[in-house]
Amino acid sequence: MSKIDEYRSFAAVCLDLAKSAADRTDKTRLLLMAEAWLDLADRTAALIKSPLRRFVEQPLVCRALGPTLPDAD
């Protein structure tokens, strides 16, 4: 199972738990957790498509490497 599938599976578990949660606060937290897992899955998928370009766009990386970077393509 890939990390993306694993993250989506965690989101599904959170959604299932939210359906059965009696307390509104617990339900809200579980829905937010599911959303965060799905966001992580989407971000991971995007990194897989363009790992170097995404990595070098990070502010800390830009500061460390400077403005001149090798072409990622």
How many secondary structure helices (H) and strands (E) does the chain include? 4, 0
Instruction: Compute the mean pLDDT over every residue in the chain, rounded to the nearest whole number.
Output: 83
Which positions ≥6 away from 50 have C-beta within 8 Å?
72
* Boundaries of every domain in the chain: 3-65
- Yes or no: say if 38 and 8 are a contact pair by the CB < 8 Å rule: yes
- Output the pTM of the full model: 0.67
pLDDT (mean) for 24-32: 96
pLDDT (mean) for 17-32: 96
